[in-house]
Amino acid sequence: MEYGFSLQLRSNRAILAPPCPSFSGRKCLLFPAKSSLKTGSQIHPLLSFSVDISNSTACKAVRSATSVETTEVTELNWDNLGFGLVPTDYMYVMKCSSDGIFTNGELKKFGPIELNPSAGVLNYGQGLFEGLKAYRKADGSILLFRPEENAMRMIDGAARMCMPAPTVEQFVDAVKMTVLANNRWVPPTGKGSLYVRPLLMGSGPVLGLAPAPEYTFLIFVSPVGNYFKEGLSPINLIVENEYHRATPGGTGGVKTIGNYASVLKAQKIAKEKGYSDVLYLDAVHKRYLEEVSSCNIFVVKGNVISTPEIKGTILPGITRKSIMDVAQGQGFQVEERAVSVEELLNADEVFCTGTAVVVSPVGSITYLGKRVEYGNSGVGVVSQQLYSALTSLQMGLAEDHLGWTVQLN
């Protein structure tokens, strides 16, 4: 089957038409050639071509047409890349109205978005976000790590927040297109990753407390280095016993935006005292571990690795889930259960997991003025072992027998 595509420029965005069968009726997208991807460039040359997609996906068609982009190198100091926003070239936007069906997603030039002052996300916090990473392999190809898990978690979170959500296929397709469009911003192998941030928000206007009449799904990306300035070096946590991240029956188990605003106060106080972050206890007994501001927590004792069970107040982290599987595969006994603060203080080793940090060893815990150090404040053996195993999979340095990675090109 031969399709003729023409690339058109509309409001500084490239659009490839007509609809492509492999994307269930949504428009295929094409990105400008590398000559137009210079930072600050306003030039978007027009292209037209034909491509046979009878036995391929739309991503392959786009990749074939834009392969010249892969040769350009973005001028960044990759060796000193922190975890902060670096404006890239494109973002993905898809909307749905009250019918709950998302259609006609498209790539737009990265930049500010327009929202009604009465948008549901601005007035009532009706919003979710996800986070995942793209890594560049030594051969120049790009890997995503378990994007379908992020899609399913967004669907679960949307149900809790009374929002429609993109399907798993729509979510993964959109992530692929956004990463490919920003190919030149994926760091070289071993220099970091491209952080992918999908957002789902009530963008329609609403004055009374109610679900919004319109929703926007948006993805932007940024090259990043380590989340904590310490990198894989141990971080220092303080156990919070006044503020709580989540309560039973609340939204702590979904990745809604309000969960993160609520931890800023305690986190700010902790960082002013020299701590890296805050570890929260449960709101009922004030004794059992929940999670760090944006990470899950693990406690190691002998050959047993324990982590708080998912019971509605703890985010079901994808890195958490992956680490548990990797640890079991390496012979550790992994337990999901209530973990007391006393067990934490008597542990052999403690580490955090999350998309941003991957695995972050904990060098010390401070609780009610008492400081406990682990492994002479060095990187624990278990933390190092699991970090190496997971990052080797994510970066394509080890063979993926689990089918967790998705190669884009």
Question: pLDDT tens digits, residue range 343-353?
Answer: 999 999 999 99
For the chain, give every residue range classified as CATH 3.30.470.10: 2-224
| Sign of the dihedral through C-alpha 168, 64, 131, 36 | negative
pLDDT at 175: 98
pLDDT (average), residues 4-19: 36
pLDDT at 74: 79
Structure-token pair, residue 373: 């150090």
Residue 70, helix vs strand vs coil: helix
Q: Which residue has the tokens 């998309």?
A: 355
pLDDT at 2: 34
How would you classify residue 11: left for phi > 0, otherwise alpha for psi between -120 and 50, otherwise beta?
left
For the chain, give every residue range classified as CATH 3.20.10.10: 235-394
Residue whose C-alpha is closest to residue 112's, from 201, 220, 16? 220
SS3 assignment for 330-365: CCCEEEECCCEHHHHHCCCEEEEEECCCEEEEEEEE
Does domain 235-394 match CATH 3.30.2130.10? no
Question: pLDDT tens digits, residue range 265-277?
Answer: 999 999 999 999 9
Q: Is the pLDDT of residue 316 over 90?
A: yes
Residues across the chain = 409
How far is Cα 69 from Cα 287, in angstroms, rounded to an integer? Answer: 53
Q: Is the pLDDT of residue 39 over 60?
A: no
In this structure, what are the phi and psi dihedrals at residue 182, rounded to the nearest 5 degrees?
-110, 30
pLDDT at 99: 86
Assign domain 2-224 to its CATH architecture. 2-Layer Sandwich (3.30)
What positions carry a catalytic annotation? 255
How far is Cα 403 from Cα 215, in angstroms, rounded to an integer? Answer: 32
Confidence band of 193 (pLDDT split at 50, 70, 90): very high
pLDDT (average), residues 99-107: 92
Task: Please name the residue ranges forming H helices in 233-377.
Answer: 258-261, 264-272, 318-329, 341-345
- Count the neighbouring beta carbons within 10 Å of the beta carbon of residue 100: 11
pLDDT at 377: 65
More reliable by pLDDT, 3 or 389: 389
Residue 234 burial (10 A CB sphere; 0-12, 13-18, 19+): buried
pLDDT at 366: 97
Structure-token pair, residue 70: 């892969």
Among 53-67, 290-304, 321-335, name the one with the lowest average pLDDT. Answer: 53-67
pLDDT (average), residues 101-112: 95
Q: What's the DSSP call for residue 158?
A: H
Structure-token pair, residue 213: 């009449």
